Amino acid sequence: MIEKTPLQDNWVLYKVINTNGMKLEVLNFGGIITSLEVPDKDGNLENIVLSYRNLEDYKENPNYFGALIGRVAGRIEDAQFELDGKVYQLQANEGSHHLHGGPQGFHQVLWEVETFEQDQTAGLRLSYTSAEGEGGYPGKLKVVVTYTLTEDNKFAILYEATTDQATPVTLTNHTYFNLSGGLKRTIAEQQAMVASKQFTELDEELISTGKLLDTEGSPFDLQSFRTLGDIFSTPHEQLQLAGGGIDHYFLFSANEKPKAGLYDPESGRLMTIDSNQPGLVLYTSNGLDKTLELKERQSAKYLGICFETQAFPASLHHSGFPDIILQPEETYRKETVFSFSIK
């Protein structure tokens, strides 16, 4: 079932509900996921994502709650890159760097939305065309993102894009998850996993040094589920650089499934993630301040965790990372599936 509620400024709020009661709420502005209700071990449906109490707060949304990110997710060093012998200057919006598509990235645009309902699935097809030169990027980029909710409590995001010129592209979604339900607890008691043997080293400005480090023997070894609070309390230079938590890119191990996951022992909620992206940025909301009015409570450090499946923009300046250049003869097609169950 799909419900549609028109709002001010041509914003529309969509609700997609399956027969189990699982409910996804999305704004056409920024493709923002404002709520995702999932059952716990007792069948209680609760919101498991961070969202603002007042929808108008999404106009700024400096933390990118629930938003689609593009053209390039992550930080581009010095807001520039060279492609085919030409240097492109992008808009800087984090010091001298370009973050998450810049100040007018995909999180700030109105998407065209089509709804669909089938036997086992329902969802939204969001479309946007990024003009040549928008944000400083070359080429006209046509993007379609499909949000699908299934009857077996899976939420899939399919990203598709084509371009008329070579251009960097890696898209993601910036939802902050907290499986306690209703933000009753921080993520410190929740357990996370990432199927990865390598992660990126960052400098003081959270820019990749180009060096890959081994996860094994470090707090970044998440190849099996680990309690996040134990990681936060571990002294490690890379954790301290990121504000006492994780804000790093992990390269997925080949042929491992699932690619990532989150588990809340108290509620029994388990989320597993599969993706054909080469890796993800794991962000444990280390920089979240206490002043934001969220739907259920005030914001706080470690209140949510982002699984930003993507390639990595460090490939624009360093070798050894998956390429993010999309060519005119190619179609960008990446999918990430979040599966919800009880453990």
Cite the active site residues: 174, 308
49: amino acid identity, one letter = V
Separation of alpha carbons 228 and 244, rounded Å: 11
Please confirm whether the linkage preceding 226 is cis (ω < 30° from 0).
no
Strand, helix or coil for residue 117: strand
CB 198 within 8 A of CB 215: yes
CB 238 within 8 A of CB 251: no
45: amino acid identity, one letter = L
Structure tokens at 65: 């709650």
CB 137 within 8 A of CB 143: no
Helix segments in the chain, DSSP class H: 228-232, 237-241
CB 124 within 8 A of CB 33: no
Only one residue has tokens 């571990």, namely: 234
Separation of alpha carbons 276 and 337, rounded Å: 10
CB 165 within 8 A of CB 132: yes
115: amino acid identity, one letter = T
DSSP structural state of residue 91: P
Only one residue has tokens 């060093």, namely: 77
Separation of alpha carbons 150 and 128, rounded Å: 24
183-208 burial by CB neighbour count: b if 16+ within 10 A, else e? Answer: bebbbbebbbbbbbbbbbebeeebbb
